[in-house]
Structure 1
Amino acid sequence: MASNYYPPPAFSFAVAIASMASVPMDANIDAAFQEVSGIDPKVDLEEVREGGVNDYVHQLPGVTKHSNLVLKRGYVTKDSPLADWAAQTVGSTLGTPIQTQTITIFLLGPTGQALVTWTFLNAWPVKWEVGTLDSTNTSSVLTQTLEISYSTVTSALS
């Protein structure tokens, strides 16, 4: 008898950055994120009108596009290779070349095994935002959001 399929929860995931992969994930503060978004490749459509035919327009596949990857976490006040990497690009005058990284996101199953892996190649930070400081809200955590551009994304089932 076939077992029932249940979609995996979206709250169990891990993030790895290639240059920081030598540090164990549990010891690496840069692996803990509250939210990841922007995994959304799509194919643009190119419309072609055929001469003399007014009933429809041909839709042909065009370039594959994607939005930026967005990583959100609680603000880190310790040494952070991720924050250093972001500062080298976002906070610089571009006097030195942009250092790209490979970012991997793992969707984890109930026992911690990777179910799906997304790999983002040639990634580099384009925006680094600190959340709102609000003295009237005493229960919220200060967050930081890192927006990252990349050239391609691939996904694989584990």
Structure 2
Amino acid sequence: MSLFDDYPPAAFYFTVALSGSLVADMAFSEVSGIATEIELEPLTEGGENRFIHQLPKAVKHGNLELKRGIASMLSPLVLWCKDTLEGEFASMITLQTVMVMLRGGHGEVLRAWQFNDSYPVKWSVDGFSSTKNEVAIEKISLAYSYSQRVL
């Protein structure tokens, strides 16, 4: 097997794991927001008008966005979202590790990203329309402290 056998990998076969264990209801139609960016601070140098220095300030992350058909109330992810977003801060927010794994044609993990100290910050449902024949979709946004590509 060559390093380039699965290059470039297809983006349609992926799984999401919550706290290191695969859960049956963790199938998503779309995952987005896998990004890390260095925030820059502009610095102008006195007497130098040709350019502005860009100094690294901090590493920032967007939110991880998950989309899927509306799941059962027994789903561990739904329960986590419900406790966090509907709990009115009556108890501490439970942080979890979320893994996103891009898989090959035989189910093998080709690439993987780990999102540490994740928690739900938004849970929404797409609009309903009597003129469309589509699956009802829920969207979940997760904030996290930091991420790392592990494969």
Q: Give the alignment's TM-score, normalised by structure 2.
A: 0.92
State the alpha-carbon separation in 1 of the partners of residues 17 and 150 from structure 2: 15
Give how far 1:50 is off. 1.1
State the alpha-carbon separation in 1 of the partners of residues 80 and 105 from structure 2: 32
Give how far 1:29 is off. 3.1
Hey, what does 2:118 align to over in structure 1? 123
Q: Where in structure 2 are there 5+ consecutive unaligned residues?
A: none
Q: Secondary structure at the match of 2:150?
A: strand
Is 1:150–2:151 an aligned residue pair?
no
Q: Deviations over 1:136-157 (max 9, x none)?
A: 21x2000101111000000022
Give how far 1:30 is off. 2.5
Q: Deviations over 1:57-102 (max 9, x none)?
A: 1112121112100110011135111101001111121010000100
Which structure carries more helix by proportion?
Answer: 1
State the alpha-carbon separation in 2 of the partners of residues 4 and 95 from structure 1: 50
Q: Secondary structure at the match of 2:42?
A: strand
Q: Deviations over 1:94-153 (max 9, x none)?
A: 01000010000001112111111100000000010012111121x200010111100000
Q: Report sequence identity in percent.
A: 40
Q: Where in structure 1 are there 5+ consecutive unaligned residues?
A: none
- Of the three residues 127, 134, 140, the one matched with 2:134 is 140
Residue type of the alignment partner of 1:118: W
Q: What CA RMSD, in Å, does the superposition of the two structures yield over aligned residues?
A: 1.7
Hey, what does 2:58 align to over in structure 1? 63
State the alpha-carbon separation in 2 of the partners of residues 128 and 152 from structure 1: 21
Hey, what does 1:81 align to over in structure 2? 76
Structure 1 residue runs of 4+, over 6 Å off?
Answer: none
Hey, what does 1:15 align to over in structure 2? 16
Hey, what does 1:45 align to over in structure 2? 40
Hey, what does 2:28 align to over in structure 1? 33
Q: Secondary structure at the match of 1:83?
A: helix
State the alpha-carbon separation in 2 of the partners of residues 9 and 48 from structure 1: 41
Q: Give the alignment's TM-score, normalised by structure 1.
A: 0.88
State the alpha-carbon separation in 2 of the partners of residues 31 and 87 from structure 1: 16
